Structure 1
Amino acid sequence: MLDGFVPWPPELAERYRSAGYWKGVALGQLVAESARRHPDKIAAVDATRRVTYTQLLDEADRIAAGLAGLGVGSGDRVMLHLPNVIEFLTTMVGLFRLGAVPVMALPGHRRDEITQLAIASGAVGYVGPDRFQGFDFRVLAREVQTDAPHLKHVVIVGDAAEFTALADLAKSEIRDLPPVDAADVALLLLSGGTTGVPKLIPRTHDDYAYNMFACAEVVEFAEDSVYLAANPVPHNAALGCPGALGALVVGGKAVLAGNPSPELVFPLITNEGVTHTALVPALALLWAETAHTSPVDMTGMVIQVGSSKFSATAVDRVRTSLGCRLMNVYGIGEGLITSTRLSDPIELVYTCEGRPICPEDEIRVVDAEGNDVPTGVTGELLTRGPYTIRGYFAAPEVNRRSFTADGFYRSGDLARLTDDGNLVIEGRLKDIIHHLGEKVSAEEVESHVLTHSQIRDTAVVGVPDEQRDERLCVFVVQAADTGAPPTLRAIREHIRGRGLASYKLPDELIVVPDLPRTPVGKVDKNALRARLTQPQGS
Structure 2
Amino acid sequence: MKSLTPRADFENYIRMKALPEADLSSSLTGWVEKYSDRIALKDEHRQLSYAGLLRESTGFAHWLSAHGLQADDRVLVQLPNSVNFFVVLFAVIRVGALPVLVLPGHRAHEAKGVHQTAGSSFYITQREHDGFGYESIATALVGEGLPREGVVFVDDLDFSALAAVSGTDTFPMPAIDDVALLLLSGGTTNTPKLIPRTHADYVLNFSEMAKACLLDQSSRYLCAVPVAHNFALGCPGVLGVLAVGGFAYLLPRPDILDFAEVVTREQITVTALVPALAELLIEYLELGVEGFSSLMLLQVGAARFSEVSAQKLRALLDCELQHIYGMAEGLLCFNRRFDPLSLKVSTQGRPLSIFDELRVVDEQGQPVIEGEVGELYVRGPYTIRGYYNNEEANHTGFDPDGFYKTGDLVRLDHGNNVVVVGRAKEQINRAGEKYSPADTEKVMLAWDRVVGCSIVGIENITEGDKAVFFIRSSGEHVTREDVCRYLEAQGVAGYKFPDEVVMVNSLPLTAVGKIDKKRLVASYAVAQD
TM-score class, shorter: over 0.9
Aligned residue in 2 for 1:173: 166
Preserved contact between residue 56 and residue 162 of structure 2 (Cα < 8 Å) = no
Residue in 2 that maps onto 1:333? 328
What's the counterpart of residue 156 of structure 1?
153
1:119 aligns with 2:112: no
1:511 aligns with 2:503: yes
CA distance in 1, matches of 2:454, 2:138: 31
Task: Identify the range of structure 1 (391-400 vs 8-17) with the bigger mean alpha-carbon deviation.
Answer: 8-17
Contact 1:123 1:151 in 2 (8 A): no
Task: Classify the secondary structure of the residue corresponding to 1:97.
Answer: helix
Cα distance, 1:464 vs structure 2: 2.2
Q: Which residue number in structure 2 is paired with residue 80 of structure 1?
A: 77
Classify 1:433/1:149 alpha carbon distance in 2 versus 1 (closer, same or farther; 3 Å): same
| 2:272 counterpart letter in structure 1 | A
Distance 1:281 1:234, change over 3 A: same
Q: Which residue of 1 aligns with 2:240?
A: 246
How far did 1:169 drift? 4.8
Q: 1:217 to 1:531 in 2, by over 3 A?
A: farther
Q: How many Å separate the matches in 2 of 1:298 and 1:220?
A: 18
Q: Deviations over 1:492-530 (max 9, x none)?
A: 110111111111111100001112223333222222223
Aligned to 2:524: 532
One-letter identity of the residue aligned with 2:469: V
**Residue identity in the other structure for 2:378:** T
Rate the CA distance shift 1:366–1:226 in 2: closer, same or farther, 3 A.
Answer: same
Q: What's the counterpart of residue 490 of structure 1?
A: 482
| 16, 19, 36: which one aligns with 1:19 | 16
* Residues 1:208 and 2:205 aligned together: no
Which residue is 2:250 aligned to? 256
Deviation at 1:535, TM superposition (A): 7.0
Residue in structure 1 matching 2:264, options 257, 266, 270 = 270
Answer yes or no: is the 8 Å Cα contact 2:268–2:295 preserved in 1.
Answer: no
1:261-340 alignment runs, 5 A limit: 261-293=255-287, 294-298=289-293, 300-340=295-335
Tell me the SS of whatever aligns to 1:328. strand
The Cα of 1:145 is off from its aligned counterpart by 0.7
The code of the aligned residue for 2:380 comes to: G
Q: Which amino acid aligns with 2:109?
A: D
Please tell me whether the aligned partners of residues 324 and 348 of structure 2 are also in contact (alpha carbons under 8 angstroms): yes
- 1:137-148 to structure 2, matched below 5 A, reads 137-148=134-145
CA distance in 2, matches of 1:41, 1:165: 22
CA distance 1:376–1:298, change in 2 (3 Å): farther
TM-score where L is the length of structure 1 = 0.94
Unaligned runs of 5+ in 1: none
Cα shift at 1:322: 2.5
CA–CA distance in structure 2, aligned partners of residues 168 and 75 of structure 1:
26
Contact 1:46 / 1:256 at 8 angstroms: preserved in 2? yes
In the alignment, the residues of structure 2 paired with residue 405 and residue 151 of structure 1 have an alpha-carbon distance, to the nearest angstrom, of: 42
For these two proteins, the number of residue pairs brought into alignment is 527
- The CA RMSD measured in Å over matched residues stands at 1.8
Q: Could you tell which deviates more after superposition, 319-328 or 119-128?
A: 319-328
Do 2:3 and 2:198's aligned partners in 1 also have CA atoms closer than 8 Å? no
Letter in 2 for 1:248: L
Does the residue aligned with 2:299 lie in a helix, a strand or coil? Answer: strand
TM-score, normalised on structure 2?
A: 0.96
Q: 1:517 to 1:350 in 2, by over 3 A?
A: farther
Equivalent residue, structure 1, for 2:357: 362
Other-structure match for 2:398: 403
Letter in 2 for 1:237: F
Q: Which amino acid aligns with 2:274?
A: V
The equivalent position to 2:36 in structure 1, one of 13, 34, 39, is 39
Runs (5+) with no aligned partner, structure 2: none
CA distance in 2, matches of 1:371, 1:152: 52
Which amino acid is the alignment partner of residue 309 of structure 2?
A: A
